[in-house]
Amino acid sequence: MQDNPTPIPLWRQLQGAASLLMAVRDGQSMTAALEDVDAALRPGVQSLGFHTLRWLGRAEALRQQLAKRPPPPEADALLCVALALIWTEHDAPYTAHTLVDQAVEAAKRGDATQHQASFINGCLRRFLRERDDLVARSEKSPQAVWNHPQWWIDRVRKDHPGQWQAILQANNSRAPLILRVNERKTTQAQYLLALSAVNIAATPVGKQGVILASAQPVPSLPGFAEGHFSVQDAAAQLAAPLLLEGLNTGDGQGARPRILDACAAPGGKTAHLLELADCEVTALDIDARRCTRIAQNLGRLGLQAHIEVADAGRPQDWWDGQPYDGILLDAPCTASGIVRRHPDVRWLRRPTDIAQLAGIQAHLLQALWPLLKPGGRLLYCTCSVFRAEGDNQIQTFVAHHTDALLMPSPGHLLPQSGAEATVFPDNLMREHDGFYYAILEKRNP
């Protein structure tokens, strides 16, 4: 018989979460920083790291009150992690006493923080004594209230004056695990039964989506190895059906539509296209390692596409001259719509990133449009709530391309966290990330 593994002490996990925060402050994504964390520590560190980044604006406002001059970076990160975890009693994952004790222990055992242990102890104990007053004073800071940088708050408010508060609130919620059922292997109803048989609670969303009541290790879910599902947010599950709807197959002889997935990695939308239609798909991505992931994901699902490592913005390097019936352009963007899943994004982005990425998006649209057949459709999408990457981008493109007809399209889907519903063609979706969709049809000359 194997002994139960020794529980990992909280102080070690707090050290790990502080190292994640320092990495994000240095401009590194949390996903990349997590790869440097010991595998045994990773789940706990990730959970604490996510919590910290969701409440970082509040934690920093409180730290500024407790210490007018910021302590050294390592001590500041550890203190902010602790404050994010205990600033409110109702959402705190640990008791205040335990948290303070383990945060001080983490400081004592860190080479760069051991001389700051008494300072951290003093700050946290003062916070507990004066919690109500300190939290009330932090309410004066929009960054503390909304837990986003000020420029981000201002931008969302300008772009969505009627919904900006709901967007920011949704960003601070935990995103559930959502699956897309592979209809070539099973159905939504059958898969819900398969989950129920192993006591996993889940509900349907959209036509192929399944929301798990609580997160599970994906490879352990029923039908994973057999390719019965993929992990994909409900908003992203709209891409393939939107492109395929009304798609012109070209010659009227039953030829398979030729479709280009222009920025395809990791292959979720490529797979969805192949699951829904008998089509010939070219999956393109500039990153060779990410193309390997496309191949792995398609292999598990029992699907095939032509995968090519290339820059979608330079068709002269890879295009065979045969026009496409459909093009899916899931363009690089700020990822401002998927902050629930990637809470580090808001702290990594800079205001200048929006214009830079909008320039890349415009270049991709310009480069790919000539590859589309007359009568063909291009679906442009981004996982962004910023209008510069959505409505504004498409309105500018249509104004400069008289052969581009903007079809009825979803436009901006704002992040939803179960509380309010967005009605989308015969679907009631209460749970999805922020996305933008525009369907462009090429008019016959």
Question: Which pLDDT tens digit goes with each residue over 146-172?
Answer: 999 999 999 999 999 999 999 999 999
Secondary structure (3-state) at 336: coil
5 compared with 180, residue with greater pLDDT: 180
Cα 60 to the center of its chain, rounded Å: 24
Whether 80 is a known active-site residue: answer: no
Burial code of 302-319, b = ≥16 C-beta within 10 A, e = fewer? Answer: ebebebbebbbbebeeeb
Q: What is the pLDDT of residues 303-353, one digit of tens each?
A: 999 999 999 999 999 999 999 999 999 999 999 999 999 999 999 999 999
Give residue 104's identity as a one-letter amino acid code.
V
Give me the catalytic one of 263, 291, 333, 383. Answer: 383
- Residue 399: which pLDDT band, with cuts at 50, 70 and 90? very high
- The secondary structure of 273-332 as a DSSP string is HHHHS--EEEEEES-HHHHHHHHHHHHHHT---EEEE--TT-GGGT--SPPEEEEEEE--
* Contacting residues for 222 by C-beta, under 8 A, at least 6 apart: 191, 194, 195, 197, 198, 228
- Residues 445 and 404: beta-carbon distance below 8 Å: no
Q: Which of 407, 381, 428, 417 minimizes the C-alpha distance to 269?
A: 381
Q: Which of 234, 244, 299, 225 minimizes the C-alpha distance to 266?
A: 299
pTM: 0.92
Domains annotated on the chain, with CATH: 10-147 (1.10.940.10), 178-231 (3.30.70.1170), 236-442 (3.40.50.150)
Burial class from Cβ neighbours inside 10 Å (0-12, 13-18, 19+) for residue 398 reads middle
